[in-house]
Amino acid sequence: MRVCVTGATGFLGKYVVELLTEKGYTVTAFGRNAVKGAELENDNVTFIKGNLESLRDVLSAVRGCEYVVHAGALSSAWGYEKDFYNANVKGTQHVLNACERYKVKRLVFISSPSIYTRNKDQHFIKETQVAWNSELNYYIQTKILAERAISDFKTSTFEKVIIRPRGLFGIGDTSIIPRLMRANKVIGIPVFNNGDNLVDITYVENAAHSIWLAMTVNGIDGAVYNITNDEPMAFKKILSIFLKELGQNPRFLKLNYSAMSKIVGIIEWFYKIMKIKREPVFTRYTLMTLGFSQTLNIEKAKNELEYKPVYTIEEGIKKYAKWYREQNYKH
């Protein structure tokens, strides 16, 4: 069976491609990065360089596939609205049309729990508790629009399943963990309320496993699933475990949420007025992510997909730390 994976050269997409080939699937890996795409290619993986904004490119990738995993997206807390719309909404519409044309069996769409983000603590969030009218950033808005496009797409040809994996980490992450490590060395990692807010994270191989389940389990057409490692922890505790495993002493910078909220509001206003594309050091989304608890209810995934994390957080951190040390040794 052949599976098309969009966003195959991204962090999660790469793991999905590798897992599917391990399980005997033939994969069409669709993405923008030709160098990373070439690294994925083997007897069971064909790489197609293309852009989600091009219907022709998407049709070329989906042709001949029985399943599609749509992991491609423009993912950032900052940027221009049209860029997010074209990649995340228009791109998803192209994927839907391609699935219809080539009569695939099932589409698995990778969404984001960022669509739950609110200015308050939230615990055990269910899949229905979306902040549908969020104005936090264009990424969240377009992910919501993409989900709506999928749920509103009328078809008897293929099934649709949505996955929302929370806080991905693992080998190959070149953004979140390295950024936190730099902050720890320079000024300390910002924390609010002493860093006691509870958060969920997901080891990337567990997320890939959940996607395979969403692709293969019967009787789940139209379902939406939260995915985490099912180990909620205090923000400060998770970071302490990470940093100690990576050989750093944790340094935390305690900030006042109310004061920072006003400052960040002014910064965002200035960036928008001046049309600055570069992401500010702090955004309202970043502030809420660092300042409030957000844990997800994954009972639906456990019951319907029989999802169970393959790796614990501790195991995932140890694997990442070993890889990180090896990379530093090489350089």
- Does 198 have pLDDT greater than 70? yes
**Cβ neighbourhood burial of 152 (10 Å; 0-12, 13-18, 19+):** exposed
Q: Is 275 left (phi over 0), alpha (psi -120 to 50) or beta?
A: left
Element (H, E) at 26: strand 26-31
- Does 331 have pLDDT greater than 50? no
- Does 329 have pLDDT greater than 60? no
In DSSP notation, 228-256 reads: --S--EEHHHHHHHHHHHTT----EEE--
Angstrom distance (rounded) from CA 251 to CA 322: 22
* Residue-level length of the chain: 331
* Domain residue ranges in the chain: 2-172+201-228+295-310
* 2 touches 28 (CB < 8 A): yes
Cβ neighbours of residue 4 closer than 8 Å, sequence gap 6 or more: 27, 28, 30, 61, 62, 65, 67, 68, 69, 104
- Kindly report, residue by residue over 63-106, the tens digit of the pLDDT: 999 999 999 999 988 899 999 999 999 999 999 999 999 999 99
**Cβ neighbourhood burial of 329 (10 Å; 0-12, 13-18, 19+):** exposed
Q: What percent of the chain has pLDDT over 90?
A: 81
Residue with tokens 């997010």: 84
* 107 touches 222 (CB < 8 A): no
Residue among 6, 172, 161 at smallest CA distance from 92: 6
Taking the model in full, what pTM does it have? 0.95
- Does 330 have pLDDT greater than 70? no
Average pLDDT score over the chain: 94
| Domain spanning 2-172+201-228+295-310: CATH 3.90.550.10 | no
Q: What pLDDT score does 175 carry?
A: 73
Q: Is 219 left (phi over 0), alpha (psi -120 to 50) or beta?
A: left
Angstrom distance (rounded) from CA 290 to CA 259: 14
* Distance from the Cα of residue 63 to its chain's centroid: 25
**Structure tokens belonging to residue 239:** 């970071």
- Kindly report, residue by residue over 273-326, the tens digit of the pLDDT: 998 988 888 899 999 999 999 999 999 999 999 999 999 999 999 999 999 888
The percent of the chain in helix, strand and coil, each rounded to the nearest 5, is 45, 20, 35
- Does 222 have pLDDT greater than 80? yes
Work out the number of other CB atoms within 10 angstroms of the CB of residue 210.
Answer: 27
What 3-state DSSP class applies to 124? strand
